[in-house]
Amino acid sequence: MHDATDHLFRAPRSTPASRGGRPPEHRFENRPGMVVEKDVAVPFGDEGHVLYVDVYRPDSDVPAAPLVSWSPYGKHNPAPIGQIYPNSGVRPEWTGDLTTFEAPDPEYWVPHGYAIVLADVPGTWYSEGRATYHSPEEARAFADLVEWAGTQPWSAGKVGLSGVSYLSSLQWFVAALDPPHLGAINPWEGWNDTYREVARHGGIPETSFWPYIWNRWGASTTEIEDLEAETAAHPWFDEFWASKAADLEAIRVPAFVVASWADQGLHTRGTLEGFRRIGSEQKWLDVHGRKKWAYYYEPENVERQRAFFDQFLLDRDSGVDAWPRVRAEVRERYAEGTWTDAREWPLEDVEYRQLHLDAGGGSLSWDPVAEEGAAAYDGLGSGLGPRRAAFAITFAEPVQLVGHVRAVLHVSADEAEDMDVFVALFKLDAAGDQVGFPYYGQFEDGPVAVGWLRASHRELDPERSTDFLPVLAHRRALPLTAGEPTRLDIEVWPSGTRFEAGEQLLLVVQGSDVMRYPEPLTYARHTETVNVGRNVVHTGGRLDSHLVVPVLPPGS
């Protein structure tokens, strides 16, 4: 069992005072119809530590249903996302002045009979203990808070969990512990496997979001987990990283899971895997093509959240049992799409078909390619050759691709024993222009989907891999032989897109990130490359490179 004695710790990256915090002072504030109790000390663990929470509850004798938000970003600091991220799509009228970063709005929830409990997680801000992130220790502290919230005099007893991103990720971990008073969870864009979904997806170190985010988590008066040193010390999926992957199959509590096609490279994979793998009998999934923060705060979706929590926390029949188990948006372009209902994820009506690469014509085809070919590109993108290899198909009839894509590529490196391969799928309209989609919560010119893989990490985990989802073992290095074609199975993150007749699906293959935005905008970047010289994609015949794509029949 991996525990805190194995963690590396460091001094905090910032102090609470430097970021607008002030020492805890238990106090009450009153608003119309609302009691606000600030800096409540909640015991956790066996060492006598406390964490600090703010509670927003009705000014009433009627017990309220607690909604807990577990955050490293500071419970004290109302942070309208629209001001921090102007392109997030969150309208000012959707949140009140009590709304903290990625958490529910007390001004909406309290009048409906809920108590919002905002926690500074252990070791952050003024909460005691040492900060560990996505760890068993953190999950146990979260479970202690759930039990506290479920047993307060003002509490109706059944506790729900709400929030986006980090506030969702930890829901998987605590739900696996099944604290008795946990009544329902609402994971909304949250990874559950830190290695495979954030820090080293595909075996390639992430060099933008991961270093940025641990700075955001680093305000403390004690010590914080040294994620920088730990990530460097653990390049493979070992017990350390296993401790930062949730035991999804252990989850039994009702769950309303919301994912998007837009959080490629961050939350999309983990949220959908969470829904697929959790053991809950009562579980529902929405997977949309919009921006994650805007979708969370959009009034129609807040009402949907409340219907879910009303059903499972307050025993009100809100019609949730009649919801389709899965709703998936099939995008046409930015902010346009249609919804399809299903019973499971991946969608049960999907047919997996192969699109074959042909280097000779730069094409994709439903038919196998007999003649062998090769498409070369400069792995470093340094101008010594083409920056990428590209393959496209113009669809003769409408096609809906909804789900996971598997890119089976036969590749070689002329001068190296390893290579980084990045792939992206784009939609082109009938005129050949790119159709943009939301990407990473704020961009609007994104691809259909992306994926990447370091060739030395290509070994699959046979127990977890499926026909549609290659899961990497990440246990040992498998070097390439220079110049020798080698098969890679690259996971392309899930997506849902409709192509009309005359529109194109474009596949690009290159040695670096396909999406590029200027600093300091944060998204998935990978600047620590192993590429050297010319890389080659081999196609046709015995080297049949192809995409396995999820085709949803018309009318589904």
Q: What is the DSSP track for 402-415?
A: EEEEEEEEEEEESS
SS (H, E, C) 166-223: HHHHHHHHHHHHCCCCEEEECCECCCCEHHHHHHCHHHCCCCCHHHHHHHHCCEECCC
Q: Output the pLDDT for position 1.
A: 44
Q: Encoding tokens for residue 473?
A: 């073992």
Alpha carbon 55 to chain centroid, angstroms:
28
Terminal CA-CA length for the chain: 45
- Closest among 142, 204, 211, 198 to 170, alpha carbons compared: 142
143 phi/psi in degrees, rounded to 5: -60, -40
Q: Is 122 helix (H, G, I), strand (E, B) or coil?
A: coil
- Which amino acid makes up residue 397? E
- Which amino acid makes up residue 422? F
Q: What is the pLDDT along the chain (556 residues), one digit of tens a residue?
A: 455 458 999 999 999 999 989 999 999 999 999 999 999 999 999 999 999 999 999 999 999 999 999 999 999 887 778 778 889 999 999 999 999 999 999 999 999 999 999 999 999 999 999 999 999 999 999 999 999 999 999 999 999 999 999 999 999 999 999 999 999 999 999 999 999 999 999 999 999 999 999 999 999 999 999 999 999 999 999 999 999 999 999 999 999 999 999 999 999 999 999 999 999 999 999 999 999 999 999 999 999 999 999 999 999 999 999 999 999 999 999 999 999 999 999 999 999 999 999 999 999 999 999 999 999 999 999 888 899 999 999 999 999 999 999 999 999 999 999 999 999 999 999 999 999 999 998 899 999 999 999 999 999 999 999 999 999 999 999 999 999 999 999 999 999 999 999 999 999 999 999 999 988 787 899 999 999 999 999 999 999 999 999 999 987 7
Q: With beta carbons less than 8 A apart as the criterion, state whether 354 and 336 touch.
A: no
Judging by DSSP bridges, how do beta strands 373-378 and 534-539 pair with one another?
antiparallel
> Angle, nearest 10°, between helix axes 166-177 and 268-277?
20
What is the rounded distance in angstroms from the CA atom of residue 77 to the CA atom of residue 101?
8
What is the rounded distance in angstroms from the CA atom of residue 408 to the CA atom of residue 458?
11
How many residues belong to the chain?
Answer: 556
Locate tokens 């949309």: which residue? 288
CA distances from 11 to 14, 15, 363 (A): 9, 10, 54
Sequence-distant (6+) residues with CB within 8 A of 223 are 9, 10, 11, 12, 123, 130, 131
Q: Output the pLDDT for position 3.
A: 54
Q: Output the pLDDT for position 154.
A: 98
Q: With beta carbons less than 8 A apart as the criterion, state whether 40 and 120 touch.
A: no
Q: With beta carbons less than 8 A apart as the criterion, state whether 325 and 343 touch.
A: yes
What is the rounded distance in angstroms from the CA atom of residue 12 to the CA atom of residue 130?
10
- Closest among 373, 424, 391, 403 to 548, alpha carbons compared: 403
Q: Encoding tokens for residue 87?
A: 């392109």
- Which amino acid makes up residue 480? L
Task: Tally the C-alpha atoms within 13 A of residue 130's C-alpha that lie toward its C-beta.
Answer: 15
Q: DSSP H helical segments within 278-377, as ranges? A: 292-297, 299-313
Task: Tally the C-alpha atoms within 13 A of residue 121's C-alpha that lie toward its C-beta.
Answer: 27
